[in-house]
Chains A and B, each alone.
Chain A
């Protein structure tokens, strides 16, 4: 009933984000090798409880329907429940990602008692060996224990969130079976070369043959599996996967980091994609609606080197963050372009031109010895 396609309208931006991710803290008990935010240690500048609540009040006024809370490990914050409760009381539903370390029996019951709350337990392998190689020793058992506690408390349908890698791609059926056994919903997302993931992407990202495998699997199971629309670059294989099929960065999506910086999406914590800070005059609303960066992202984007490719309408050139952190031009192919156009360019990118994440909150190496894993 409209003269413009929905995708076109989305690209021009919305009055408020649909999908807002808020990393509550850079502190984390784990040190996953692909962490998008290079988390580990708390940052002294992290938003106070009162500042966080003020941001939530602003989001409520903007009618943001729900937020995705992450970190770091968000439950490490002592005011975690206070923040979540304040959000829900203001009609902002909460979905939070956790490694499960703090979901003991008592917290599982407390979480179960809350409305409009979704939980995503991160798990990157259906066995401890596969999972712990990425997420650290003991993290598989921790996640399973949290899932057991949620099930026992009667939480209902929580989500199991998987980053698909070269090493777990053969476990997609097993992940689905595991989710089913808990009455949970499976969510799979794309590995991005962001944060510490920039250092491990080469060894972890799925091969081209595996990308076809993911695509086929999603075509067969997509309706009951969440993806955060993260695999739209695979649409170049043929039939489109369900979802909006566009890069939503700064248009329908954004990230608020623990110190209040607003980035275009959760995968680009870098000064190039920093639009402002929620503590500045005008707050989040001003950043979302007026910042130079977001305004620019909502302008028509050039297809660049991809313009002559017949698949461009299907894949939209892929993921901005994946290109940026592999040093590829933003108006060119995705490094995982299924036709191989990106892959052939990678060796020619000088290492000195590959951007490094602007912030690193990783724990010092000495505290990581216990969970040190060879990859």
Chain B
């Protein structure tokens, strides 16, 4: 599923995140998928996205430079496929 700047998303409740030197590991206890979050910024976004009405607001709040938004949208879209995050609206 493709997310947009306007998407409202949250970390899946069955997912745990473990910090690692390169970013973090995310593990989904339901589908047993293990995913590498390969930058500390994407880890912060994933952790706090549920507190913001849209991804745009999350990026702004976390200080993600606008030039990086497209790559973040791409990375977050792939995280919906593995159900690490889910789209609320």
Binding site for B on A (CB under 8 A): 1-2, 4, 6, 9, 12, 14-16, 18, 63, 65-66, 91, 93, 116, 118
Contact = CB atoms under 8 A, between A and B. Distances in A.
Contacts of A12: 21
Among A1, A91, A93, A118, the one with the most B-chain Cβ atoms within 10 Å of its Cβ is A1
B46 to A, nearest CB: 13
B13 interface: no
B87 interface: no
Nearest to B25: A18
Contacts of B36: 6
A1 B38 contact: yes
Given A1-B75, A116-B29, 10 more contacts: A2-B39, A6-B22, A9-B38, A14-B20, A14-B21, A14-B25, A15-B19, A18-B25, A65-B18, A66-B32
A65 B22 contact: no
15 contacts: A1-B38, A1-B75, A2-B38, A6-B22, A9-B22, A14-B20, A14-B25, A15-B19, A15-B20, A15-B21, A16-B18, A63-B18, A65-B25, A66-B27, A118-B32
Contacts of B34: 18, 65
A91 B38 CA distance: 23
A91 B17 CA distance: 12
Contacts of A118: 32
A16 B16 CA distance: 14
Contacts of A2: 22-23, 38-39
A4 B39 CA distance: 11
B29 A93 contact: yes
B71 interface: yes
Contacts, number: 43
A91 B39 CA distance: 25
A109 to B, nearest CB: 22
B73 interface: no
B16 A1 contact: no
| Size category, B interface | 10 to 19
A99 B29 CA distance: 25
Interface string B28-56: 01001010101100100000000000000
A1 B39 contact: yes
Contact of B27 (A4, A6, A65): A65
A136 to B, nearest CB: 31
Nearest to B42: A1
Interface string B1-29: 00000000000000010111111010101
B16 A91 contact: yes
A4 B22 CA distance: 9
Contacts of B18: 15-16, 63, 65
A31 to B, nearest CB: 31
Given A12-B21, A15-B19, A63-B18, A6 B38 contact: yes
B70 to A, nearest CB: 12
A9 B16 contact: no
Given A1-B71, A1-B75, A93 B32 contact: yes
A91 B36 CA distance: 19
Contacts of B71: 1
A294 B22 CA distance: 19
Nearest to A244: B36
